[in-house]
Amino acid sequence: MAPSPLVYLSPDENDLVGKLQSYLSEKLFYLLEQTGTIGIGVSGGSMTRIFSAAILAIPNLNWKRIRIFMVDERNVDVNDPESNLGQYLRLFPVDKHDSFVPIPIHENVGITAQQYEINLRRHLLPEQFNSAPRFDLLFLGVGPDGHTASIFPGKERLEKITDMNWVSAITDSPKPPPARVTLTIGTINFGKNVAFIITGRAKAEIVRSIVEGDEKYPASTVKPINEKLVLFLDSEAGSAIRDQERLFARHDEMSSPEPETPPFE
């Protein structure tokens, strides 16, 4: 049985932003001491404002050594209101825009996916393990249907997406717009520090499924190979978790940064 994730439960969004800020600060300063450039992947949706508020509140970060990638992106121009990157750029001061790695958008979403993968291979080269990429930090959202990144429920969709590519193109996303690119579950699971940011009662069942690892939804197939999974939740999102006491007892075990051990040792 997979180990339970580390859960941070907040009464409200302000508290969640504070907890995320502490987590980010601890991880980023540790990683900045250890490695050259830090690769962070972020999703879109409601976590955009939460992640932005948390990281922008950290003083004295060396932004020149931080690269932020989109975990998934809608196949639209960055100036389109639907663009995930565009939403981040509107929340970040201009002097930090260079930290974002843009996805070259092509009208053919298959070509966008190829370009995105080429970009990732270039930027994450030193962080590959065999042929798999290794993001330092990944932040995921979930939809009420159980999707994460742009990996939506449905057997055919999941089959299409589980090949060995780092990135997949989606043409039939049930959440508009339909054309998207997304990291695959394989890529996500190679992340060194994978975390979900989830708020609202509509997602409580998905949170339960992630905590129990029952793989009923795409989000609950996220199982990092290093077995480190963190959940930042508000109390509504956490309301269907069973066995809360056991989960919260894990904070002491996992709260300090550990040296990264290579997988499969």
User: Which residue in the set 4, 75, 84, 184 belongs to the binding site for ligand 6PG (CB under 6 A)?
Assistant: 84
The three-class DSSP label of residue 142 is strand
Report cis status (omega within 30 of 0) of the bond before 263.
no
Q: Which residues pair with 151 in a beta bridge?
A: 148
C-alpha 227: how far from its chain's center? 15
Residue 205, CB-side half-sphere exposure with 13 Å CA sphere:
9
Q: How far is 198 from 180, CA to CA, in rounded Å?
A: 21
User: Which residue in the set 5, 41, 141, 218 belongs to the binding site for ligand 6PG (CB under 6 A)?
Assistant: 141
Min separation Cβ 203 and ligand 6PG, Å: 7
Min separation Cβ 230 and ligand 6PG, Å: 16
Q: Which residues pair with 70 in a beta bridge?
A: 42
- What residues between 32 and 61 interact with ligand 6PG by CB under 6 A? 43-47
218 binds ligand 6PG (CB under 6 A): no
Min separation Cβ 165 and ligand 6PG, Å: 18
The DSSP call for residue 96 is G
Closest CA to 65 of 114, 32, 16, 20: 32
User: Which residue in the set 27, 72, 96, 100 belongs to the binding site for ligand 6PG (CB under 6 A)?
Assistant: 72
Q: 84 vs 184, which CB is nearer to ligand 6PG? A: 84
The three-class DSSP label of residue 215 is coil
87 binds ligand 6PG (CB under 6 A): no
User: Which residue in the set 49, 97, 175, 216 belongs to the binding site for ligand 6PG (CB under 6 A)?
Assistant: 175
Instruction: At 221, list the tokens.
Output: 């197939």
Residues in the site for ligand 6PG, rule: CB under 6 A?
A: 43-47, 72, 74, 84, 141-143, 148-150, 175
